[in-house]
Amino acid sequence: MTFVFVSGDLALDFAGTLKWRRSAAPEELLTGPAEAARWAVAAGVLSTAPRLSTVEFAGLLELREAVYRLAVAGLAGQPWPPADLRALNAAAAAPPPRVTLTAGGVRRAGPPSAAGASIGAAVAVAAVELLGSLGSLTVRECALDECTRLFVDRSRAGNRTWCGMEECGNRVKAASYRARRATGADAAGAGGGAGGADGGAGGARGGVGRGAGGARGGADRVGGGAGGGQAVGGMAVSASRQAMRS
């Protein structure tokens, strides 16, 4: 499982580990305690993955859903759900990961007996700071209809649309490209049919023209024959008259 961190905030990235929330089959990225511990390392909360109990794991999932509901309520201008607010503040009060400087660099570790609570504390503190600053931050939901990930828009123009280009942005662009190609193919097919009809009409007109030309040619030939008959008749009359005068 590969985790992505595109929300610009630790708490929103944690909420985003449940994808496609409005779909019939949401995609769960935290499928067990080991995955939750791995997420904590990938997110930079802890330096090494702890062993989480099933109880700790369940608590983290409950916190995740509370964070998501609180964020959605805040964006909608609605009151924060009281139960979720209590759960968030309780998680934020737990001891956070301990940060120490070592020869190998910065090390972050939670108490071995309360690693889950320390992860939750880090997420909850981030959520408190985010939700308390909604008036000065631009938080949006991804514009892809199926996506429910929230993100902080820190773009210079303030017009960020998707949570991330690699997944949602590329999906939208690919769908738009397919739609344009399908529209172009339909238009080309319609044009080809019209061209064929025009070609058939042109052929018919050509055939009619040729037939008319042939008819006119035949009439001309008949007329020529009639003219020849008159000339022959005139010659015979002249010969008869000449004989009578003789």
Query: What is the rounded CA–CA span in Å between residue 71 and residue 233?
Result: 114
Indicate the Cα dihedral angle 100, 102, 104, 105, nearest 10°: 40
- The predicted model scores a pTM of 0.71
Q: Do 13 and 5 touch, CB atoms closer than 8 A?
A: yes
Residue 245's pLDDT is what? 39
Query: What is the rounded CA–CA span in Å between residue 238 and residue 144?
Result: 104
Residue 66's pLDDT is what? 98
Residue 99's pLDDT is what? 96
Residue 217's pLDDT is what? 46
Q: Cα(first)–Cα(last) distance of the chain, in Å?
A: 130
Residue 229's pLDDT is what? 37
Query: What is the rounded CA–CA span in Å between residue 174 and residue 99?
Result: 44
Would you write out the chain's pLDDT as a tens digit for each of its 246 residues?
A: 789 999 999 999 999 999 999 999 999 999 999 999 999 999 999 999 999 999 999 999 999 999 999 999 999 999 999 999 999 999 999 999 999 999 999 999 999 899 999 999 999 999 999 999 999 999 999 999 999 999 999 999 999 998 987 778 666 666 666 777 777 666 666 655 555 545 554 454 544 444 444 444 444 443 444 343 333 333 333 333 343 333
Give bridge partners of residue 28 from the DSSP assignment.
18
Six token digits for residue 230:
């008159």
